[in-house]
Structure formats: structure tokens, C-alpha cells
Amino acid sequence: MVNKINRELSWLSFNDRVLQEAMDENVPLVERIRFLGIYSNNLDEFYRVRVANVRRSMLLKKNKIAGFEGTASDLYKSIREVVLEQQGKFENTFAGLVNELAQNKIYLINEREIKAEDIDEVSAYFHSELKHVIFPIILDKKHNFPKLRDYAIYLAVRILLPKNKIKYALIQIPSDQSRFLILKREGHHFIMLIDDIIRLHLRTIFNILNPIDVSAHIFKFTRDAELDIDDDVSVNFIQKLENSLKERKKGVPVRFVYDQDMPEDLLQFLLDSLSLKKAVNTIPGGRYHNFKDFIKFPDFSNKKFIYSPEKPCNHKVLENNSGLITTILKQDVLLHFPYQKFDYVTDLLREAALDPKVKSVQINVYRVAKNSDIMNAILAAAFNGKEVIVVMELQARFDEENNLYWANRLKEFGVKVIFGVPHLKVHSKLLLITRESNSKEEHVAYIGTGNFNEKTARIYSDICLLTGNPLISNEVKKVFKLLENNLQRPFFKNLLVSPINAKRRIIAMIQQEIANAKKGKKAAIRIKINNITDSQLIDKLYQASQAGVKISMIVRGICCLKPGVKDLSENITVISIVDRYLEHSRFMIFENGGSPMYILTSADFMERNMEHRIEVGTFIHSKEIQEELDMIFEIQWKGSVKARLITADMKNNYHKRNLPPFHAQKEIYKYYLNKSN
């Protein structure tokens, strides 16, 4: 028996939980449509990265696949079967949501359903907004097939000419315009996708060919997105990355999704042109694709269609008038986003930029917003004469170009920019402010689970520790020295730093729980993470379960561990919460014989996080913050409304308990709302 779940299949199970949110009638209508967009966007990235890896394994003829009885080719077939099954649920869900919109006098119409009185308005929109950004390409075997963009969607056009001649053409759907045109008439709303507006004008577009009939069917194309950064020492890293980003756009195709009503001759022409096989690379679907655009589906200013606003709460300790830096130097603070304000982080940097006692600001950046308040505050510190060091991770997948932009801008204004550690991604979330007071150096440190990104801080649930405790801040200083000078390998007592000591320390803490259980002492582990794939850690947790250690885990995404298996993991229970906010915080609580240890970390239980990235976690010393972490875990553990029980069969059944329905994220918000008053 395989005692672990395959990573790719577990990820598909996670995305099925996202699809469940679109199917949940208790979720507001437009939010359900947006969950379809999130599901679609997730699946695109899955194919670009994970399925691309499976494809490489197929080419290498790998017969041993972790967590799977079969070859890479068998796994690829299993993935396709699951995706096709989910595609059916997706299409049915979308059809149901379209019906619900109609019940609310909102109608999704296509080019065949448009009313005569609306044609002039739609045509005016086509000629003013779309006509000049559409460039049809005639396809024939005499010319090379055009290179297709990975993020784009296309209309494959079939043109019937006199004497039964047929031509094919290609139209890329413009990506800079909103996908949706809203028409209003007598208290009703009619939505047309620009795909259908183009279909309505196909005869106009191809008028010069005198067509008898023109039809168009949508498709999209997914390429391998892995960056191949070569080892040419004569080329600097930034140039290598820029070259690799260009090559990503030419990556090997891994998926072709198309309208299942596409004529067979047109479909076969496309597959032949792209060197694809219908039974291997293709996924038949509905009339519309690139559902990621539906993340921005309009809400029609109807409050019932969207989640009720939840204004981030104040943190009482940080609301006093003595300044953020001096407050944090006196008392550790835990911030929990989006329930509490992320503005405190930006304000802390702004204060550091103005404080004459502050000498330096150091930060490591993985993903930032395109128009980043954090980065602007960092620039302000540089303008005010502070020494500013930014460790910029250029290989944050799909954010590479954004990070390159900020790296160049920071350097223009004199900021020292360091591009991480060779062969290791810097995924930690650290900030260190150094100041001199009465000839004494003091530090304020930030250690978090999420990125310095004010945009994602509104939709990702993350936590961070703000501390002036020298036991921690002095070790954060060591991490920055390590990032500046890769030859150093310091000793850490209060921090868990990957790949230096984190995995070893976690295994040692699990082992201590095993020893305590064998001595009859209370032994328990509580873990909240995004993903668990690391075989060594999974095996150690199995060993702890077999020794009688009670293990409770909240795992949002991939879970390769099989919980609840007799004689293997019967003392392990795992739930997953998928809800309004993306669960992204990571922390651990070890019972430790009655003196619990609390760790906040940027790392998941994955080989890449433990062995191939710089990750930083910290022990929590404040009793008040320890109690807060207990509270967060226990509220989420009680969850039933949005919590699913993770099982070896990946059924995603809701975590029903013999208690009244309990909505964890709502209860956490209530907690912070009460705490802020």
C-alpha cells in the first residue's frame, strides 16, 4: 500500500474545494462566480508548473512516482480524468449561476440572443473599443502557425466561402479591455462578453472575403512555465532571468482547452498545427474560457451579491501616541491580516524613514504589489539618508517581471539590492529596523508568514510578529548577514532557519512528543500550514501517531499525508478551510510536556521549503501572543461551515461535528472586533 497521497492529485482535491465554494448556495451570488474564476486561474498555474513536471517525467520514462502506483504516464491520465470530471461540475455550476443571475434580472446573452434595440449600442462599442485592437490572422499550411500567448484566449474562426471553400483564421481576444459589456434596459441588466461581441461582427471583420458563413469557437493554450536559467557565467543573473522569461512564452504546450462544439475539421487543423494529440493534451469545455477574468465579474452595486465589508480592526497596543517603534520595543505584537490593519506595517516603515535615531532598514521581498506602498516607504527611507538593504527574490514565480521592475527602481535611488542566495529562493518574510538610542543599538524585527503586499493582505489570512526582543532581533540580524555574505553559517537558537536548522529542529520537537507519550505524559501537536509533502516529516508524524501523540492539523492545500489510517496515522486528524479569505498563516504548537512551544514560520512542510529555500520561523515568548495563537487554532478547529475533513480517499466532505454550525473566519473577525473596542 502507498502510505502517502500523490502531490498532484492532492492539489486537484484542493482545487475541488475551491469549486465547492462556487457550488455553495450560502455564498453570495457574484462571489460564487468569482470562485469559478479562482478555480480556473489555479488550474492554469497547475498545468503550467505541476503538469509540466509530470510531462518531463514522462519523457524521462520515470516509473516511480511519489504517492502513486503507476508510471508518470499513468499519473498524467489520472490527472486528465480528474480534470474532466471537475470540468463537468464546473460547467454545470456555471449554468446554474447563469440561471440565478436571470432570476435577479441579470442576463448573460450571446450574439444570437441580443435584442434588435441593443445592436446599435453594441456595434458602437465594437467600433470604438474593439475593432482597432483586433488583428485577424488567416491560417493556411503555406505559412508558419503564429506563436500563441499563454495567458490569452483565441477565437478559432471557420469561414465558408463561395464554391464550398473553407478558410481558417485566428482572433486573439483583447486582454486590456474588460471582458464584460453591461447593457441596461427597463430595470434589467444584460451582459455580453467581448468574445460574443466579436462573434456578432465576424462578417464585418472578414467582409473583404465575401463569406457565406462565419463561425468562431474559443480555445486557450497552456505552456510549460518553468524557467530554465542557464549556468553561463559570462551573463549576469538579471540578464539570465530576462532571457528565461522570454523563453517561457515559447514553452512546450501542456494543455489545449477548447469549445466542445468546435467543428471537427477546425479542431483537427489546430491540433495538427500545434503538434497536439486529441486524447492526450486536450480538454473539451464550454463556450467560454479564461474564467480567471470572472474574478472581476461586476457586482451591479448590489450588496447581496458580494461579501459584507469587513473593515480591518485596530490593534489597541499600536493605537497609542508614543510611536510604533517605541511601542514595539516595549512589547511584542502579533498582527493578523486581513482581520487587523496591514497599514501598521507601512506606517512602521514610514516612521523609520523619518526617525532620526534610525540608522538602517533591511527587508527581504518575495512578492510585492505593482504599485507598492511598502516599496515607496522603503524609497522614502533611502531619500532620508538611512542605509537601506533590500534582499529581492527575482524568482518568485509569475512575479519575476514585477520584482525586476522594483529592483531596478530601488537601485536607481541608491538602495543596496541583493539578489538572494545562489541556488536557494529567499522566501522568508523579514524586516529589521536598526536604531541608536543613548549610544545603544536597538532593533525592531518583523517575522511573518505572508508577503509585504498590501493587496494580498486584504484577501490572505496571514500573521506576523513585531518584536524588539533582542533574543529574536539579534538573530534576524544574523539572517540578513547570511543573505549578504553567503559564506557565513551562523548558529540560531530562537529562529528556525531553512535550510540550516528548521527541519532538524522540527523533527527533534516531534521526537520529544514521542518520548513524552511513551512516558505517559501529555503529548500533542497542533499544526497550521498551507501544504505538507515532505516525506521525512510525514513519516515522523506517522511515527508520532503510532506512539500515541494526538496530532491536529489544518492544511489548506496539498496534503500528501494520509490521516486516520489504522496502525499508521489513526491519531492524526486533518481539516482544510477554504473560505472568503485564503488561509495562508503557518504556525505550530508542541505540547512539550505541559510547557507548550509556539512557532510562527514562513515555511510549509515541503522539501522545497525545508531544503531549497531560505525560510525563517521564530519561537513565540510572549504569553499573551501564545494565548492568541491558541485562540486562532481552536476557533478554526471548531469550524464546520467551511472546514473539510481531509481523508485518504480525498472526498472533501465537510467537517460535521455534534455542535451548532460554526463559521471560523466570521468568528475570528468577531474576536478581533471585540478586542479592538
CATH code assigned at 645: 3.30.870.10
H/E run at residue 30: helix 29-46
Q: Which are the contacts of 152, defined by CB distance < 8 A and separation ≥ 6?
A: 172, 173, 175, 220, 221, 290
C-alpha cell at 290: 479564461
Same domain for 518 and 477: no
In this structure, are 518 and 662 located in the same domain?
A: yes
Burial 545-572 (b: 16+ CB within 10 A, else e): bebebbbbbbbbbbbbbbbbbeebbebb
| Sign of torsion over alpha carbons 93, 99, 103, 107 | positive
Report d(CA 559, CA 106) in Å as an integer: 40
Asked whether residue 309 is assigned to any structural domain, the reply reads: no
How is residue 626 written as a grid cell?
501564545
Are 99 and 160 contained in the same domain? no
Active site residues: 427
Q: Which residues contact 122 (CB under 8 A, 6 or more apart)?
A: 114, 181, 183, 192, 197, 200
Q: What is the pLDDT of residue 237?
A: 41
Residues 472 and 523 occupy one common structural domain: no
pLDDT averaged over 10-residue windows placed end to end, the chain, 677 residues: 90 97 97 96 88 83 82 92 94 96 96 91 95 92 80 92 93 92 92 96 94 94 55 42 44 78 93 79 84 94 96 94 92 98 97 96 86 91 94 66 78 85 87 93 97 94 98 96 81 96 98 97 97 97 98 97 96 97 98 97 96 96 98 96 95 88 96 92
Three-class SS state of 532: strand
Query: How many angstroms from the chain centroid is the CA of residue 646?
Result: 20
Query: CA dihedral defined by 589, 525, 426, 467, rounded to 10 degrees?
Result: 0
Whether 259 and 320 share a structural domain? no
**Does 336 lie in the same domain as 276?**
no
Predicted pLDDT of residue 672: 97
Residue 138 grid coordinates: 488567416
**432: Cβ contacts below 8 Å, ≥ 6 apart:** 360, 361, 362, 363, 443, 444, 445, 446, 473, 476, 477, 480
Domain that holds residue 40: 1-104
Q: Domain total for the chain?
A: 4
Residues 33 and 126 in one domain: no
DSSP code string of 435-468: EEETTEEEEEEEEESS-S-TTGGGTEEEEEEEE-
CA–CA distance, 491 with 485 (Å, rounded to integer)? 15
Chosen domain end from 244, 265, 295: 295
Do 325 and 473 fall within a single domain? yes
For residue range 305-363, list pLDDT tens digits in order. Answer: 999 999 999 999 999 778 999 999 999 999 999 999 999 999 999 999 999 999 999 99
Of 631, 635, 615, which Cα lies nearest the Cα of 623?
Answer: 631
End position of a domain, from candidates 104, 134, 162: 104
CB neighbour list of residue 405: distance below 8 Å, 6 or more residues apart: none
pTM for this entry: 0.91
Instruction: Report how far residue 619's alpha carbon sits from residue 589's, in angstroms, rounded to the nearest whole number.
Output: 10
Is residue 301 assigned to a domain?
no
What confidence score (pLDDT) does residue 371 get?
Answer: 84
* pLDDT the model gives residue 399: 55
Report if residue 300 sits inside a domain: no
3-class secondary structure, 483: helix
Question: Do 321 and 235 lie in a common domain?
Answer: no
Domain of 55, CATH number, reads 1.20.58.310
- Residue 172: CB atoms within 10 A of its CB come to 17
672 contacts 335 by C-beta, under 8 angstroms: no
Residue 109 lies in a domain: no
Alpha-carbon distance values, 207 to 48, 116, 210, 212, 416 (Å)? 38, 21, 5, 10, 58
Q: Is residue 162 part of a domain?
A: yes
CB 630 within 8 A of CB 607: no
Amino acid at 619: F
| Per-residue pLDDT at 227 | 39
Q: Is residue 307 in a domain? A: no
Cell numbers given for 284: 473539451
157 in the same domain as 79 = no
Query: What is the pLDDT, as a whole number, of residue 473?
Result: 97
Is the CB of residue 547 less than 8 Å from the CB of residue 568? no
CATH number for the domain spanning 248: value is 3.30.1840.10
Residue 303 lies in a domain: no
Domain-located, residue 3: yes
CA distance 530 to 197: 41
Do 654 and 577 share a domain, yes or no?
Answer: yes
Does residue 221 share a domain with residue 137? Answer: yes
Which residue's C-alpha cell is 492526450? 280
Tell me the residue type at 442.
E
Q: How far apart are the first and last CA of the chain?
A: 54
CA angle 211, 216, 222 (to 5 degrees): 140
Cell, residue 58? 514522462
* CB of 490 closer than 8 Å to CB of 401: no
Helix (H) or strand (E) holding 98: helix 72-103
- Cα dihedral 470/471/472/473 (nearest 10): 30
The full DSSP string for 159-205 is EEEGGGEEEEEEEEPPSSS-SEEEEEETTEEEEEEHHHHHHHTHHHH
- Distance between CA 575 and CA 585 in Å, rounded? 15
